[in-house]
Amino acid sequence: MCGIAGILSLTPGARVPREALDVMAAQLVHRGPDDAGQYVDPQGRCGFAFRRLSIIDVAGGHQPLCNEDRSVWVVFNGEIYNFPELRAELLYQGHRFATRTDTEVIVHLYEEHGEACFNELAGMFAIALWDERRGRLLLARDRFGKKPLTWAKHDGWLYFASEAKAILAVPGVPRAVDAQSLHRYLIFQYVPAPHSIYKGFQKLQPGHYLAVAAERPSPGRQRAYWRLDPPPFDGSYRDAKARLGELLTAAVKKRLIADVPLGAFLSGGMDSSIIVALMRELGVSPLRTFSIGFADRRYDETHYARLVARQFQTEHHEHVVTPQAREILDTLAWHYDEPFADSSAIPTYYVSRWARELVTVALTGDAGDECFAGYDRYRAARLAGWLEFFPAPLRRLVSYGARLLPANRPRTLTNRLRRFAGACAEAPAARYLAWVCVFSPAQLAAAYRPEFRAALHPDEPCLWFSKLHDSAAGPPAERAIQADFLSYLPYDLLTKVDVASMASGLECRAPMLDHELVAFARSLPLAWRLGRGGKRILKDWARDRLPPPVLRRPKMGFGVPVGEWFRHELQDLVRGRLLSEGSFCRQVFRPDVLTAWVESHVSGRANHEHQLWALLMLEMWHARWQPAF
């Protein structure tokens, strides 16, 4: 796991400045504290900077790395889990290797397959590859977007890096807010790729690559090298359960390859518990597990984590997150580069920091809900699909009545009913967006300052989301899963874990996102995934492995009680940041609306926890990075 950066000249005769590469690398030390490297093309057209977190071939895995005749160079962030098989095949084809690292596989694979090499790689990766003979730079990102890659074009140069801060550190690179991406953030709580909060910046999309010729003004366009579209599974349920076990075991086994200590995040949910169970079966020892808890029992899962830890005799470690987490908000604003409003970044950051004291690699249960239909909202989508058979006027009446229900407390049946029924009259894509958005487009339209609203294409984020949602065939629940795979998973969940873990130099691996396992899961009939309250086939497979309470427990989610914190310990923080005369939010929103949101939440008349958290993190980001607006 590493931090990569680089510069490509788009102007004939211009030579890459080595001092700029040094500046960029200095911003990525947290991602790679163990080693550093640099490469500049003999003609000065392209330069790479690298920071390394040593995982495999600790002594020999220095980057940048090249092929035998030094005509192909690479810097790489991530892990290639099938590199032993690829290496054996390449050796048979006559290639010579100088190291045991997975990185070296990439240059030789490129020699054999060109741009098609990325589809041969199984793992998580962000890759920059320089072909000296052709004068061409290739940037690529793994299928699901586990590892990030950002690029920007400025003043005749193309800059790229694992994190935007490395590009922003280069003298002369402007930092200005992209208003449309700010609008996207306020709806989704993240800025989806290829967009960035900074004007002139782009993020490489998952499963895409970008080919850029040196000394030419245009950087080209991103191209997809892989899409998730598996054929339907043609076996029995029993066959599927057996195949599931094989794929899960193989996915975990591949992710145990490391020359450093490893452990696991253990939330107490089924997905992370399965990972721990398989690690024990595969002989990991010592097996260290790490959990986060809260004093508020509605958010605390440590009881279940302890059950799993006892059953598998792990070396278990747990910590409690308190409202004192406010002390790290500026730190999070620096690490995330962009405004990011998933509050579970707080416990993820803490558990990563504590785990890093004992291990360098941690396995997680991420993506189990997307693969096996575990979220409550998928069952809600199925139910709402059934309600479409009722007359539209009746659904509109139900929707109107639901909005009159109180919604001042989170995680209550009344609040869930209000959220579900309040959108039941909408079309499927708009209905699902209403369930997952932070601010609704209607809320924003009424709250924006007129001059800010006039600069936007207000419907663009909704149209983008609808396109993702409707790109899948099948019932509303299947389309909701598709939307999450293409939006929430890469741009929220995976971004959260990557940034929060790499802030402490910890590598996180997600076996549930093995691309063969994901394709298999998505090939199964929806009923085999969504049945029995979600994750039917996964529960059936795990029934003899996990403690019964873990299998029977309701879905909880990795939430944080920020709503209660805003009414008590963090009340002064949210008032001071959002309502002060100089706040950034007052440049975007009408001051009376901001005041109404804060006061109605603090008084307990309404629950605006997600909205206020999004605004607070926007304010923290702006204060930290000071972009022009």
Q: Which residues of the chain have pLDDT under 50?
A: none
Gap between the terminal Cα atoms of the chain: 34
Return the structure tokens found at 101. 């690292």
Q: CATH number of 2-176+194-224: 3.40.190.10, 3.40.50.620, 3.60.20.10, 3.40.50.300?
A: 3.60.20.10
Residue 300's pLDDT is what? 72
pLDDT at 427: 86
Which of 2, 46, 371, 437 is the catalytic position?
2
**CA count, 13 A, side-chain hemisphere, 8:** 27
- Judged by DSSP in three states, 47 sits in strand
How many CA within 13 A on the CB side of residue 575? 12
State the pairing for strand pair 262-265/361-363.
parallel
Give, in degrees to the nearest 5, the angle at Cα 608 between 301 and 339: 80
Domain ranges of the chain: 2-176+194-224, 237-367+504-552, 562-629
pTM (2 d.p.): 0.94
Task: Give exposure, 588-619, as e/b (b: 16+ Cβ within 10 Å).
Answer: bbeeeebeebbeebbeeebbbbbbbbbbbbbb
CB 79 within 8 A of CB 139: no
Amino acid identity of residue 555, one-letter, is K
The length of the chain is 629
Residue 501 exposed, middle or buried by CB count within 10 Å (0-12, 13-18, 19+)? buried
pLDDT score of 399: 63
Could you give the CA distance from residue 108 to residue 66 in angstroms, rounded to a whole number? Answer: 9
E strands in 193-314: 201-203, 208-213, 222-224, 262-265, 288-294
pLDDT score for 238: 97
Question: Is 585 among the catalytic positions?
Answer: no
Smallest CA-to-CA distance from 226 within 245, 206, 240 is with 206
Strands 361-363 and 507-509: parallel
Pairwise CA distance, residues 437 & 216, whole Å: 40
User: In angstroms, rounded to a whole number, what is the distance separating the alpha carbons of residues 40 and 38?
Assistant: 7
The pLDDT score that the predictor gives to residue 398 is 57
Please give the pLDDT value at position 402: 55
Question: What backbone phi and psi angles, to 5 degrees, belong to 603?
Answer: -75, -15
Cβ 130 vs Cβ 70: under 8 Å: no
CA distance to 80, 86, 105, 483, per residue, from 91 (Å) = 17, 9, 10, 41
Alpha carbon of 608 to those of 50, 321, 597, 603: distances in Å? 42, 21, 7, 11
* Alpha carbons 74 and 77: distance in angstroms, whole number: 10
- The answer to whether 472 and 482 have CB atoms below 8 angstroms apart is yes
- In sign, the C-alpha dihedral spanning 79, 85, 87, 89 is negative
Task: Record the tokens describing residue 506, joined without a space.
Answer: 């910890």
Report how far residue 378's alpha carbon sits from residue 534's, in angstroms, rounded to the nearest whole number: 8
* Tally of CB atoms within 10 A around 359: 19
237-367+504-552 has which fold? Rossmann fold (3.40.50)
